[in-house]
Amino acid sequence: MNKPVFRKTIVASALFSVMLTGCLDDPYNEPVTPPIEPPLPTETTVIYGPDSDGTFNLMMSDSGNIESPVDESGNSILGNIQTQNVSGQRNGTLNVKITGNQKARIALMSSDASHINLNIDPTTTTLQFDSRAISKALTTQDVFLTTQKESGTDIGKVSLTSSFLAYYNSAPQSIKVPLSCFSEAGMDFSNTITPFALESSDNLSFDMGNIRIVENSIEQLDVLECHSSSLLLEPDDPSDEFRASSLFKVGTPTTGWATAITNWMTVGNSLLHWGHDNIRIEYTNAPAGENGGLVLAISDGTPRDLSDYANAGVLQFMFNVSNYAEHPTKRFQIQMESSEFGNSQPYFLEVGTADNSWVQIQVPLRDLFTRADGSIDINALKNIDKPLSILPEWVGVTDTLQNMDFSISNVQIVVP
C-alpha cells in the first residue's frame, strides 16, 4: 500500500553565494557577476522534527541488529545505543550515543510498514539534518548514511566520517546529502520504507534533529559528494605527538606532498630563489597596480582531505620578509585552495610580521574553513590541492609590489 507524505513547507529561497575559485594565474580578480536568475523555490518535507506528521517513526538498532522504536519521549536505551531528548520538544533534537566499540544505527522507518511515495525528483533533492559532533570519530571509523525500500536491505551509501571529524567541537552544522547518491544505486523514492538510516561502526556521540527532504536544493552550499577521491591526511609518523604532515621541505631532495611551485603575477614577474633550506620570492618587475604571490600545490594529483585536522590543526611554516618595500599595508594574506570547490577564508598576518626576521607562522585550519555564520566549508576542506597560497595583500592601481622580498621554509600541518 502506498501512503503519501502530506506535510510540506514551501520556502522561497533568495539566498545565493559567490565563491572564489582557485586559479594559479590570477585567483584574486574581482568576480564578474553573471545575470542572476530567480532561484527555484525549495520545497521542504520534515520527516523528523516538531513539525513532522508521523509518517515515519524513529528506530534504533544495536550491535546485535536488535531493533526497537525510540520512545515518544525521545529517551531510549537498546544494547549499545541510547538516545536522549535534549530539546524537550516532541520529536526534538536527540543526543545519540553509541558505545561498546561496536556498530549501531538510528533510522526513520515507515510508521505502518507501508511503502511511501515521497513524490520528489532525486536529481535535484537533498536529504538534510542538523547535527553536532560531541565526540570525535576515528579516522578508521565507518560513519555513513543509507536508505531502504525493503526492510533489512540497504541501498546506497554516503560516508559521513569526514563530516563528523571536521564538525567535532564546532557549532551545529547542517549535513546535506544528494538523494541521487541512493537513486543511482537503485533506490526508489516513490516506494520507500526507510529514507534515512545513519550507522556508525564504532563509538560516537552526536546531536541530531530536523531531518528533512529539500527539493531544488542540489546547488546549495555544502551538499556532500556521493563519493570522494581525495586522500585523508594522516601524520608522517603515527607516533608523533604533533601529528605533523610535511607539505614542503627544501633539501636533497625536496620533500612533501605539495612541492609544485608557482610564483605568479597578474602582469610582470617575480623571481624564485632556492636557499639551502628555504625558497625566496623577489619582485623585480612589478608594475603599479599588479599583484602576485606564491602557491604550493600537490605534486601527485590527489587532493587531500584535511577533516581530521580541522578542530585543532594549524598550517605552520617559517617566514621572513627581508623587504616590505613600498607596500601600503605591510600585510600578507594566506589561504588554502580547492580547484573544484574554491578557496578557504583568507587569513591576514599582522602588519609588519617577520620584518627582517625569521618567525614561525601558525594559521588555524578552523579559521580558514569556518564562515562568518559558523558553517564549515566541508567540501573545500575535503578536497585541498593547493594547501598554501600566500601573497602580499592586494594593492590598488597606484601601489606596487616592486622590490618586495619574502622567504618561506618547512611548511607543514601540525597539531600544536
The three-state DSSP-derived secondary structure of 260-276 is EEEEEECCCEEEEEECC
What's residue 29's pLDDT? 42
306 grid coordinates: 584535511
Mean pLDDT of 360-388: 98
Mean pLDDT of 228-232: 96
Pairing of strands 56-61, 153-159: unpaired
What's residue 5's pLDDT? 46
Q: Does residue 297 fall inside a structural domain?
A: yes
| pLDDT tier for residue 31 given thresholds of 50, 70 and 90 | very low
User: How do residues 202-224 score in pLDDT, each as one tens digit?
Assistant: 999 999 999 999 999 999 999 99
345: Cα within 13 Å, side-chain hemisphere: 18
Among candidate residues 227, 257, 279, the one where a domain is terminated: 227
162 pLDDT above the threshold of 60: yes
What's residue 336's pLDDT? 99
What's residue 76's pLDDT? 98
1 pLDDT above the threshold of 60: no
Q: Does residue 68 fall inside a structural domain?
A: yes
Separation in Å, CA 84 to CA 66, 93, 209, 248: 19, 8, 12, 46
Could you give the CA distance from residue 121 to residue 106 in angstroms, rounded to a whole number?
Answer: 25
Do 272 and 366 sit in the same domain of this protein? yes
- Per the structure, how many domains does the chain have? 2
Do 284 and 387 sit in the same domain of this protein? yes
Cβ contact 18:31 at 8 Å: yes
Range of the domain at 133: 2-23+33-227
Do 256 and 309 sit in the same domain of this protein? yes
Mean pLDDT of 113-122: 95
What's residue 38's pLDDT? 59
Q: Does residue 116 fall inside a structural domain?
A: yes
Could you give the CA distance from residue 212 to residue 225 in angstroms, rounded to a whole number?
Answer: 18
Do 274 and 385 sit in the same domain of this protein? yes
Contacts of 304 (CB under 8 A, 6+ apart): 230, 231, 232, 233, 257, 298, 384, 385, 387
Mean pLDDT of 371-378: 98
Mean pLDDT of 381-399: 98
87: domain CATH number is: 2.60.120.430
Q: Compute the mean pLDDT over every residue in the chain, rounded to the nearest whole number.
A: 92
Give residue for cell 604550493: 296
Among candidate residues 183, 199, 227, the one where a domain is terminated: 227
139 grid coordinates: 579516522
Pairing of strands 126-133, 173-178: antiparallel
What's residue 37's pLDDT? 56
| pLDDT tier for residue 113 given thresholds of 50, 70 and 90 | confident
Query: Whose CA is closest to 172, among 226, 118, 210, 218?
Result: 210
What's residue 144's pLDDT? 99
| pLDDT tier for residue 42 given thresholds of 50, 70 and 90 | confident
What's residue 35's pLDDT? 55
Contacts of 70 (CB under 8 A, 6+ apart): 57, 58, 59, 60, 76, 83, 94, 106
Query: 4-18, 227-241, 279-293, 350-364: which has the minimum mean pLDDT?
Result: 4-18
Q: Does residue 232 fall inside a structural domain?
A: no
Q: Does residue 266 fall inside a structural domain?
A: yes
169 grid coordinates: 567541537
What's residue 36's pLDDT? 56
46 pLDDT above the threshold of 80: yes
Do 179 and 252 sit in the same domain of this protein? no
Among candidate residues 165, 194, 227, the one where a domain is terminated: 227
7 pLDDT above the threshold of 50: no
Could you give the CA distance from residue 127 to residue 259 in angstroms, rounded to a whole number?
Answer: 39
123 grid coordinates: 536529481
Q: Does residue 237 fall inside a structural domain?
A: no
Do 59 and 108 sit in the same domain of this protein? yes
Q: What pTM value is reported for the model?
A: 0.89
DSSP assignment string, 206-226: EEEEEEEEEET-TTSTTBPPS
What's residue 39's pLDDT? 64
Mean pLDDT of 241-254: 97
- Specify the 3-state DSSP secondary structure of 183: helix
18 pLDDT above the threshold of 60: no
For residue 247, give the amino acid letter. L
User: How do residues 310-344 score in pLDDT, each as one tens digit?
Assistant: 999 999 999 999 999 999 999 999 999 999 999 99
Do 275 and 399 sit in the same domain of this protein? yes
Q: Does residue 239 fall inside a structural domain?
A: no
Do 217 and 252 sit in the same domain of this protein? no
Do 79 and 197 sit in the same domain of this protein? yes
48 pLDDT above the threshold of 80: yes
Could you give the CA distance from residue 402 to residue 343 in angstroms, rounded to a whole number?
Answer: 26
SS (H, E, C) 354-404: CECCCEEEEEEHHHHHECCCCCECHHHHCCECEEEEEEECCCCCCCCCCCC
Do 204 and 257 sit in the same domain of this protein? no
6 pLDDT above the threshold of 50: no
34 pLDDT above the threshold of 60: no
Mean pLDDT of 43-48: 96
Do 303 and 368 sit in the same domain of this protein? yes
Q: Which helix (H) or strand (E) is 161 found in, with range? A: helix 161-167
Q: Does residue 240 fall inside a structural domain?
A: no
Do 280 and 208 sit in the same domain of this protein? no
